[in-house]
Amino acid sequence: MLSGGAGTLLLMLGLLWGLSKVGGTTLTAPVIWAIIATIGLALVAVATSWGLTPSGIGHDVLQYAAAVATFCPLIGVLGAKRPQNHAWQWVVLTLWIVLVWPALGAWVTPMGSRLELFAAWKLFLLGLIGLGLLNYLPTRFWLAAINVACGQAVLLSNVLLSEEMLSAEWHLPIGVSCFLLSIVSVAVSGSLRKSTAQGLEAMNHHWRAFRDTFGAFWGLRILARVNQTAKLRNWPLRLAWTGFEPTNKESLAPTTEQLAEIEQTLATLLRRFL
């Protein structure tokens, strides 16, 4: 098991690789949020190893603040559409402040030796974990989504559970290791590879790459918009989760003009993101 400091260093390198892959897209901000969250985890790891963190509830609050920052990248993806993607980052920052606020209150007026949150607040945190998981579970990055959710659950286990099920010194190393596994699974999935295909096969590749990187929330929105246009234009194809499919077995192959219309429609919709 990697130490917290070494794990966050490797995680930072992986995120910098990811940043180079999403350059020019609206996923740049979510990756930057991930880097900021990693810096927070690294500071907690270094401060803990050097004995600089306050004891008791103070340490729990600092780790909690760093842990909830890992929600920022996943929430950032939900606003990754131009032109509102820049303003959305203020929403992400506000969410982090809202999440941290009750922990700060517990630190100022401690009611015990460890951080305790209300049951409704715990359900809210579980909902945020589930939101990120569900957004990427139907994509090629499903394994990465599971690893991220597990990492978040481990980092927050001291506040989600009424009793300590895991020694506090293992929270950060295990959580960061889960995040590292998510980056490895993304790297080996090949979903970001370039394609030399043309025509309908190329459009299917672009669609699946968008669906995998932006998740089900935006994928379903784009799918609905494309199929709405397909119905109005009477195309013999409809966009499914895996790519374009004939409307029925008797459908004729799309004409060259129709393929050009489909390609233009898809490109116009994805231009807000890519």
Question: What is the tens place of the pLDDT at every residue in 40-95?
Answer: 888 888 777 776 666 666 677 788 888 999 999 999 999 999 889 999 999 999 99
pLDDT digits 0-9 by tens, 53-68? 666 666 777 888 889 9
* Residues in CB range of 174: below 8 A, 6 or more apart: 1, 151, 154, 166
Measure the CA–CA gap between 19 and 144, rounded to whole angstroms.
16
Q: Does residue 262 carry a pLDDT above 90?
A: no
Q: Is residue 141 domain-shared with residue 231, that is, in the same domain?
A: no
Q: Is residue 34 domain-shared with residue 138, that is, in the same domain?
A: yes
Q: Does residue 182 carry a pLDDT above 80?
A: yes
Q: Could you tell me if residue 244 is inside a domain?
A: yes
Which one, of 157, 146, 172, lies nearest residue 41 by Cα?
172
Domains of the chain: total = 2
- Main-chain phi, psi angles of 244, to 5 degrees: -75, 135
Q: Is residue 266 domain-shared with residue 141, that is, in the same domain?
A: no
Q: Single out the residue in 171, 189, 207 at which a domain terminates.
A: 189
Say which range, 119-123, 250-254, 265-269, has the weakest mean pLDDT: 250-254
- Comparing 108 with 203, the larger pLDDT belongs to 203
Distances from the Cα of 135 to the Cαs of 132, 163, 167, in angstroms?
Answer: 5, 30, 31
| β-bridge partners, 101 | none
Q: Does residue 191 carry a pLDDT above 60?
A: no
Q: How many of the other CB atoms lie within 10 Å of CB of 103?
A: 23
Q: Is residue 39 domain-shared with residue 136, that is, in the same domain?
A: yes
Distance, CA of 218 to chain centre: 12
Q: Is residue 125 domain-shared with residue 148, that is, in the same domain?
A: yes
Q: Could you tell me if residue 10 is inside a domain?
A: yes
Nearest 5 degrees, angle CA 266-CA 268-CA 200?
Answer: 25
Measure the CA–CA gap between 229 and 237, rounded to whole angstroms.
11
What is the pTM for the complete model shown?
Answer: 0.86
Task: Read off the pLDDT of each residue in 103-110 and give the average, rounded to a whole number.
Answer: 67
The length of the chain is 274
Q: Is residue 171 domain-shared with residue 242, that is, in the same domain?
A: no
Q: Could you tell me if residue 24 is inside a domain?
A: yes
Measure the CA–CA gap between 20 and 28, rounded to whole angstroms.
9
Q: Name the one residue in this structure whose structure tokens are 């994805």.
A: 270
Q: Does residue 168 carry a pLDDT above 80?
A: no
Q: Could you tell me if residue 194 is inside a domain?
A: no
What pLDDT score does 52 carry?
62
What pLDDT score does 28 carry?
92
Measure the CA–CA gap between 98 and 172, rounded to whole angstroms.
22
Q: Single out the residue in 189, 213, 246 at which a domain terminates.
A: 189
What pLDDT score does 16 carry?
84
| Confidence category of residue 4, pLDDT binned at 50, 70, 90 | low
Q: Is residue 214 domain-shared with residue 149, that is, in the same domain?
A: no
Q: Is residue 112 domain-shared with residue 235, that is, in the same domain?
A: no
Measure the CA–CA gap between 124 and 68, rounded to whole angstroms.
11
Q: Is residue 112 domain-shared with residue 177, that is, in the same domain?
A: yes
Q: Could you tell me if residue 96 is inside a domain?
A: yes
Q: Is residue 23 domain-shared with residue 124, that is, in the same domain?
A: yes
Q: Is residue 104 domain-shared with residue 223, that is, in the same domain?
A: no
- Comparing 115 with 75, the larger pLDDT belongs to 75
Structural domain that includes position 135 = 4-189
Measure the CA–CA gap between 5 and 237, rounded to whole angstroms.
51
Which one, of 234, 270, 232, 269, lies nearest residue 254 by Cα?
234
Q: Could you tell me if residue 109 is inside a domain?
A: yes
Q: Could you tell me if residue 164 is inside a domain?
A: yes
Which one, of 155, 143, 159, 154, lies nearest residue 106 by Cα?
159
Q: Single out the residue in 135, 163, 189 at which a domain terminates.
A: 189
Q: Is residue 121 domain-shared with residue 207, that is, in the same domain?
A: no
